Amino acid sequence: MTLTKTRPTPVEPQSVSKQWVGRSNLRDDIVGGGFAVAFALLVIGFTFTFMWQRNIFERLAVDRVEALVAAQEVRVEGFVESGIDDAELLATRGVIINVLASVNGIPTDSEAATIQDVVARVADVSQDVIWMRVFTPDLHLVATAGTGAIDVGEAYLLQAFNGPTAGRVVVSSNGERVHLVATPIISGDSLVGVAIIGQSTADLDFLTSDYTGLGNTGETIIAQPWPGGGARFITPIRFDVNAALRRTVDGTARNVPVISAMADTVGVSTSSVDYRGAEVVSASRVVEITNWAVVAKIDRAEAMEPLSDFLRFGLLTLLIGSLLAGFFAWLIAHQIRKPILEMKDAAIAVASGDREVMVPNGRADEIGELASAFNTMTTELNQLTGSLEVQVANRTAELQTRNEELRTLMAAKETFLAAVSHEVRGPLTAMMGFLDLIGDGSLVPEDERPQILEMAIQQADEVLVLIEDLLAAARVESGTLKVASVRVNLEAQIRQVMEGLSESSGDMIVLETEPTFAQGDPSRARQIIRNLVSNAVRYGGSTIKMTTEQRDDRVAVLISDNGEGVAAEDRSLIFDAYGQAEGPKKIEASVGIGLHVSRQLSELMGGTLTYDYMDGWSVFTLELPVFEGD
């Protein structure tokens, strides 16, 4: 590449000035930039403050409904417990127990009259109870008090055989809402009857009509389970006074507090939807003995109303702050613009060829430093031009060197692909030949077929080992290879590798091993041992030794052979990818990946793989951490 030194063409001042036509001036840029930065900072600050305030208001609303639902839960539980107490008061009357325990079947008229008298007296002292019934174990009605017919249902009475049952609210024939509480009548360990009372729901109505602390939209809802996973209101609600035992919520409705409460004991939501479809902040509890859902809620719009005032105040602050930022940016720009214009005129003069021009400099700030730097630049411009030409020449030489390296890498790639093709093609060709011989029964005697089949399997194993090494190398390079960290019996791995060797290869090997346990990956340890044994069989001497040793906190596998070994100058290269040491047994088409992969696998398991030549023996040593677990 030849470089030609040329002088810059002088630029007329008039033509340079035309380049500034249509551009905004520096003052406008500074004002605009300062305004934009200030506005962005104000917006960010306002956004974070707004989110913080929103979280505060949400937390306050949640705390309010949580406190209310906790108080309402206690009141509802007190209502239910009073009903259970009234039912048990009736079920524990001695006269009733004695009469029912003495009869077998349906009581006589006199016995029924005795029970009726006791039921009437209990009803007189029970303030909230408007209805009472006593049944025999076969659900025969014995005595009653109060007016109005009520469909109790046998299933509800049967539940009371196992203990007090509460939670069912029904409407009597005279239009009253009644909470039914049933309890067994026990004599000794025997069930002699069932007592059931009807408790007025007036206290529940009063409880849900108290909107203290719930603002203009809040309310308390009490609902009982409804078929299909739904809920039915058992008291009037704020926005529907006729909802009691008439209005239900489908069990498939999503994000509705009363439905969520049927599934969860306690629930809090800042964005649920109530029966009106309005977004609310809600808290819910479940009264366990009745499975009633108690929900306190308030419209989210009302709970977050203070946030609107904060938003208006924040927007006003944002506007005023932005205007102030723009004004101060304009003042700063006015002070900066004049010396910058002087520097622009000097730059135009330099561009026109006058490299002796100097910028007037009477400032001690950063702009003054810039003017000094500009003056220095004009002085050194000619020197820099020459230096630039030298740098271009050096860069050209570097690019040529890079090109040579690239060509070398491309050649190495072609060599590698050729070696892989040869390594795979050789075993595959041998396998195809062996299989053809086996397929043609006339060419191979019956007794020689197993031997030929074993040779074909060995060739397939060689291809499999090569592919396994290549895949492992690729995964290591990409960082996706994972190794286990478990107990590894190195002697067992060695013997498993021995089982895969041919008979002739196995005769060359002398084992001096004992059970040795390392921390690592069994399959990867076996892969390393197999590669080292294969390397010794192909390149080593006539005798191969395999030894295991315990070395303090490490365990080692030593694979030695009495071959000529690797030349001293090549020992640092044998673990490189796709490389082989020189020697009389070098296989020209071999990929040279086995030792490289083995060292990488050993390091991934926290170990090392080294080579030494000592006393006529080539020794590969694999060290792994000792296993210290149970």
pLDDT at 221: 92
End-to-end alpha carbon distance in the chain: 70
- What distance in Å separates the CA atoms of residue 483 and residue 440, rounded to the nearest whole number? 45
Does residue 8 carry a pLDDT above 60? Answer: no
- What distance in Å separates the CA atoms of residue 69 and residue 260, rounded to the nearest whole number? 15
Does residue 356 carry a pLDDT above 60? Answer: yes
Residues 482-493, mean pLDDT to the nearest whole number: 90
Q: Alpha helix (H) ranges present in 440-521? A: 449-478, 490-499, 503-507
Quick one: which of 427, 417, 416, 504 has its CA closest to 464? Answer: 427
pLDDT at 409: 63
What is the per-residue DSSP string for 355-369?
A: TT--------SHHHH
pLDDT at 41: 79
pLDDT at 272: 86
How large is the angle between the packed helices 449-478 and 522-539, nearest 10 degrees? Answer: 120
Work out the number of other CB atoms within 10 angstroms of the CB of residue 246: 11
Residues 335-340, mean pLDDT to the nearest whole number: 72
Beta bridge partners of 54: none
Contacts of 294 (CB under 8 A, 6+ apart): 69, 72, 73, 76, 220, 221, 222, 261, 284, 285, 286, 287
pLDDT at 441: 61
Does residue 621 carry a pLDDT above 90? Answer: yes
Residue of 617 and 477 predicted with greater confidence: 617
Residue of 141 and 378 predicted with greater confidence: 141
Distances (CA, A) of 222 to 175, 177, 203, 371: 19, 14, 12, 80
Does residue 247 carry a pLDDT above 80? Answer: yes
Using an 8 Å Cβ cutoff, are 565 and 613 in contact?
yes
Which of 23-27, 60-64, 360-364, 602-606 shows the lowest per-residue confidence on average (mean pLDDT)? 23-27
pLDDT at 17: 40
Using an 8 Å Cβ cutoff, are 476 and 604 in contact?
yes
Residue of 345 and 193 predicted with greater confidence: 193
pTM, entire model: 0.48
Distances (CA, A) of 174 to 9, 147, 192, 598: 111, 8, 31, 91
Residue 553 has phi, psi (to 5 degrees) of -95, 15
pLDDT tens-digit profile of 445-471?
766 667 677 666 766 766 776 677 677
Quick one: which of 465, 623, 604 has its CA closest to 547? Answer: 623
- What is the gyration radius of the CA atoms in the chain, in angstroms? 47
Does residue 135 carry a pLDDT above 60? Answer: yes
pLDDT at 191: 92
Residues 468-475, mean pLDDT to the nearest whole number: 71
Residues 231-254, mean pLDDT to the nearest whole number: 89
What is the per-residue DSSP string for 255-294?
A: S-HHHHHHH-SEEEEEEEE-TTS-EEEEEEEEETTTTEEE
Place 7 in a pLDDT band, splitting at 50, 70 and 90: very low
Number of alpha carbons in the 13 Å side-chain half-sphere of residue 239 = 12
Which of 44-48, 130-134, 186-190, 483-487 shows the lowest per-residue confidence on average (mean pLDDT)? 44-48
Q: How many residues does the chain have?
A: 630
Quick one: which of 563, 554, 561, 567 has its CA closest to 602? Answer: 554
Residues 160-178, mean pLDDT to the nearest whole number: 90
- What distance in Å separates the CA atoms of residue 372 and residue 383, rounded to the nearest whole number? 18
- What distance in Å separates the CA atoms of residue 573 and residue 448, rounded to the nearest whole number? 43
- What distance in Å separates the CA atoms of residue 286 and residue 266, rounded to the nearest whole number? 7
pLDDT tens-digit profile of 524-572?
899 899 889 988 888 888 899 999 998 888 999 999 999 888 888 888 7
Beta bridge partners of 267: 284
pLDDT tens-digit profile of 73-96?
999 999 999 999 999 999 999 998
Residues 43-50, mean pLDDT to the nearest whole number: 81
Residues 496-512, mean pLDDT to the nearest whole number: 81
Cα torsion for 237, 241, 242, 243, to the nearest 10°? -10
Indicate the DSSP class of residue 240: B
- What distance in Å separates the CA atoms of residue 487 and residue 456, rounded to the nearest whole number? 34
Using an 8 Å Cβ cutoff, are 199 and 280 in contact?
no
pLDDT at 455: 66
Quick one: which of 147, 143, 121 has its CA closest to 196? Answer: 143
Which of 23-27, 271-275, 370-374, 576-580 shows the lowest per-residue confidence on average (mean pLDDT)? 23-27
Work out the number of other CB atoms within 10 angstroms of the CB of residue 263: 11
Using an 8 Å Cβ cutoff, are 526 and 624 in contact?
no
pLDDT at 61: 86
Quick one: which of 263, 228, 265 has its CA closest to 248? Answer: 228
Residue 580 has phi, psi (to 5 degrees) of -135, 150
Quick one: which of 600, 598, 587 has its CA closest to 532? Answer: 598
Token pair, residue 330, equals 């304009």
Place 169 in a pLDDT band, splitting at 50, 70 and 90: very high
Using an 8 Å Cβ cutoff, are 606 and 625 in contact?
yes
pLDDT at 484: 87
Q: What is the mean pLDDT of the chain?
A: 81
Using an 8 Å Cβ cutoff, are 183 and 89 in contact?
no
Amino acid code (one letter) for 423: E
Contacts of 57 (CB under 8 A, 6+ apart): 303, 304, 306, 307
Does residue 590 carry a pLDDT above 50? Answer: no
Beta strand ranges found along 452-531 (DSSP E): 486-489, 509-512, 517-520
- What distance in Å separates the CA atoms of residue 308 and residue 269, rounded to the nearest whole number? 21
Token pair, residue 78, equals 């007190």
Cα 307 to its chain centre, rounded Å, is 33
Using an 8 Å Cβ cutoff, are 583 and 548 in contact?
no
Contacts of 82 (CB under 8 A, 6+ apart): 128, 199
pLDDT at 413: 62
Residues 58-68, mean pLDDT to the nearest whole number: 89
How large is the angle between the packed helices 490-499 and 522-539, nearest 10 degrees? Answer: 50
pLDDT at 18: 41
pLDDT at 21: 42
Using an 8 Å Cβ cutoff, are 520 and 625 in contact?
yes
Which of 50-54, 292-296, 512-516 shows the lowest per-residue confidence on average (mean pLDDT)? 50-54
Place 262 in a pLDDT band, splitting at 50, 70 and 90: confident
Residue with tokens 């014995």: 142
Token pair, residue 461, equals 């194993």
pLDDT at 350: 75
Place 20 in a pLDDT band, splitting at 50, 70 and 90: very low
Number of alpha carbons in the 13 Å side-chain half-sphere of residue 595 = 22
Does residue 580 carry a pLDDT above 60? Answer: no
Beta bridge partners of 191: 186
pLDDT tens-digit profile of 380-417?
776 676 677 788 888 888 888 888 878 876 765 665 66
Quick one: which of 196, 188, 198 has its CA closest to 97? Answer: 188
